[in-house]
Structure 1
Amino acid sequence: MNDRNRPVYMISVAAQLAGVHPQTLRAYEQKGLVTPKRTSGNTRMYSQADIERLELINELTGEGINLAGVIRILDLQGRLDERDEELDSLHRRLRKLADRVHELETRESVTALVRASDIPPVVRRLR
């Protein structure tokens, strides 16, 4: 788990950092806008990534977007992030395959040169 996702803030601190009331965080959790981790004692713990998400929610609601719209925007953003990750993975795979093709073509070229020029005619007839 990277540091951005490590749950470190209790609800009161998270609310203060995000500029909202703790009850607002509970409402956001109930609507699925944020999902804080829970301690063994069931205390909500928020990460830096959660705080950033809450700041985005505040920005969107401040622009007049209702919570249903915010939910939709966050869902679409999540899907876009997933597609970006898939695309990055496919690009890495394509680069590996292109490198492998280049390696095989080089090997084939070297082998063809060796066959054609470096083998004495007497040896070629013996094959």
Structure 2
Amino acid sequence: MDENSPVFAIAVAAELAGMHPQTLRQYDRIGLVQPKRTAGRSRRYSMRDVEQLREVQRLSGEGVSLEGIARILSLENEVSHLRERVRELENALADQVLKAQGRRVFAAGEHGDVIPLRSGTRTQRRTEIVVWRPRRDDEQ
């Protein structure tokens, strides 16, 4: 079970978050924290949902409006997805490095964009960082 598995019924999620179940229903209606639904349309909350509910409660206690909280949660979710994507790309890059030893793999642009390079080519701009592994003498 991971943190995104929808396993908690609304009563359990409300207890874990320290809230009333009606509050969770309200947050679902306004799109603040949206749980998954079963085939019978009942709500199922994940541990991540419960953590977000706690964050909503904390931010609300600090005086942040529900609209502000929604924006904060949206940005946090985006950062989480981007981190996951970066991990995927790092793994793909590591695989490429292992497959293509001795050849350049990519160049990174000044804005973080990835520029693939063919073996033996150079980047066009001096602001890019090139990652490569030097050739051994026995490779040619």
TM-score, with normalisation over the residues of structure 2?
0.65
User: Per-residue deviation at 1:103?
Assistant: 4.7
Provide the residue aligned with 1:25 in structure 2.
24
- After superposition, give the CA deviation of every residue in 1:1-55 in whole Å (9 maximum; x if it has no partner): x432222222122112111111111110011112222233322222222111111
AA at the equivalent of 1:55: R
2:138 to 95, 110, 126: 110
Unaligned runs of 5+ in 1: 113-127
Provide the residue aligned with 1:90 in structure 2.
89
How far apart are the structure 2 equivalents of 1:62 and 1:74? 15
Higher helix share: 1
User: Per-residue deviation at 1:99?
Assistant: 3.2
* Identity percentage of aligned residues: 41
How far apart are the structure 2 equivalents of 1:27 and 1:88? 35
Unaligned runs of 5+ in 2: 104-134
User: Per-residue deviation at 1:59?
Assistant: 1.1
AA at the equivalent of 1:27: Q
| Aligned residue-pair number | 109
Provide the residue aligned with 1:11 in structure 2.
10
Runs of 4+ in 1 over 4 A off after TM superposition: none
Greater RCO, 1 or 2 (C-alpha within 8 Å, sep 6+) = 1
User: Per-residue deviation at 1:75?
Assistant: 0.9
Specify the structure having the higher radius of gyration (Cα).
Answer: 1
